[in-house]
Chain A
Amino acid sequence: MVAPGKRRPGHSRRAQYNTFYNYLLAVGGLGIGVLLLVVSLGDTAAFAGARATANGAVAPVGQAAAGVRSEGQTWLGTIGAFFTRGSRVAKLENEVAEARVRLAEQAALKDENNRLKTMLGLIESDGKPVAVARLIGSTSSSTRRFATISAGSRQGVRAGMAVRSPRGLVGRVLEVGDTTSRVLLITDSESNVPVRRASDGLQAYATGLGDGTVRIRLAATGTNPLRPGDAIVTSGSGGLYRPNEAVAVVVSLLPDGAVARPLSDPGMTEFVTVEPVYDEVSATAAQTTSVKP
C-alpha cells in the first residue's frame, strides 16, 4: 500500500527537519551497530552483564517453556515410538550390548585411575554437581550455538564449569548471571573438547560444526583408525572436563577424522547438571585461550 509521502512533508520547516533527523538517526544507528560489533568482537565479555540481565528477566517464561517442551516431546515420542518399536528394540539391544562392554571397560579404567591418582597424590574436586538446572532456551536462529540454563552465580555456577545431561556432555558455562547462565554447546563451531576413543584412548578433539554434529579431529594425523559407531568420551586434558564423560558416537568418516553425533541432544533434555571444574590448575592455564561469545 502507498504511504503518505513522508520524504517531502511540504513547506513546514519543522516537518522537513524532522524527516532529515530521522534519516540522520537511522544512519547513526548503523554506525552504532558497527561500533558495538567492534567492541564486542574485541572484548569477549563486553556485553555479558546486559545479556545476563536480559536472560534473567525472561527466565520464568523459559522455565515454563522447558516444561512444555519435555511434555510435548514425550507425547509426540509416544506416538512415534508406536510405529518404530521393532527397529528401536533391535537398536536398543545393540546399544545395551555395547554399553555392557563399555561399563566393564570403565570399571577397569576407574580402578586403574584410582591407583594412579593415589600414586601421584592428586587432589581433585569430588565431582558432586554444583547445581541442577533447567535448559531454558537456545539461540535457535543464530549460527552460534548457545543455551541458557536456569542457574547462576546464586546457585554457585562459575564460568568454565561443565554442563552435562544424564546422556552425556552438553557444553560449558560461558557467562554467568544472577539466576541464569549462558552455555556454549559442544556443537558450536567455537567449542573444542579434548576427547578420546572409549575403546583404546585414541586422542582427538571434538569441534562443533554448528549443525548439531561435531567433527572429530585426530591429534595424530596420518592414518584414520576411526570407524562408524565408535564411542567418543572426554579425555580430561586441559582440566575443564572430567575424563570419560560420554560425548558422541561416530557416524561418518572424513579423510582426517570423522563426523560424530552428540549423545546428549539438548532438544530432548530438560534438566542438566552443572559440574565443578575438574582440575583447577590446568583449567586456569587453559582458560587463557578463551572463547568469544
Chain B
Amino acid sequence: MSGKTLRIDGVTRTFPARGRTPPTLALQPTSLAVAPGEFVAILGPSGCGKSTLLRIVAGLDRPTAGTVSLEGRPVAGPGPDRGMVFQSYTLFPWLTVERNIRYGLVERGLPEAEQAAIAARFIARTGLAGFEHHWPRQLSGGMQQRTALARALANDPEILLLDEPFGALDHQTRELMQELLLEIWEGDRKTVLFVTHDIDEAIFLANRVLVMSARPGRIKAEVPVPLPYPREWTVKTTPEFGALKARLMAEIREEVRRAAVSAGA
C-alpha cells in the first residue's frame, strides 16, 4: 500500500449558458477524501455529474469553485500522477499494444530497456501476452480496455481514475474484467476512484461506495462494503452482498426516477 491522499473540497461545476440554454449546475459542492490504498466507487444515474467529478480530479475539467489536491498539492491540470481509463476506447490507433503501454514511459524519457521491461510486466499482468504487436483495431473491446488499463498502470500513477471503463463491454467480458481489475488491485493496492452506474460492479470491487444524486449531483449516501478481500466472484451470491445491493438499489432507484422526470423521459 502506497500513495497519497486525494482531497476534494467543495468542488462545484456549472456549465456556462450557451445560446438560449441557461447555465447548468452539474455538480453541487462536493467534498471527499480518499486515503491511500482505497478502492472507492462512485455510483450514480447517468448524467448525474459523476464523470464530471472524475474529470475534474484528472485535471481535464476545471471546477467552477472548490479545490482538488493530492497530498496537499493542488491539482492544476492533468498529469501522470493521476492515471485514467475512459469508457470510450482511447488507445492510440497508430501504436501497437506494446507501444501504447509504453506511451507514458516514452514521455518520461525512460531508457529503452526499462520501458520494455515495464511493458512486459503489465502485458503479463493484464493477460495480453501474444497480442503485443497487434494494432488496436484488431482487438476486441475487452482487449482494448485491458491495454488501456495496462497503459495507465505502467505509468505508476498515485491514483487510478476509472470512468466506467467496462461500460461498453458485454456482460460476460465485463465480469471478467472486474475480476482482473480486482486481482491487480489486491496485488498492489493502488488507490482507485471508480465511476460506474452498475450496482453489482460497485459492491464487488469497492471498499466504499458513494451514491450520487440525480443532476445536479451531490454525494447523497456513503456505503462501506465490509466484504473481505481477496474477493471471488462467488461473493456476489452471499447474503451480505444481497443486503448491500438492496440498500444501494433503494438509494439509486429514487435518483434514477428523479433524473427521468427532469429529463422528461
Same complex: no
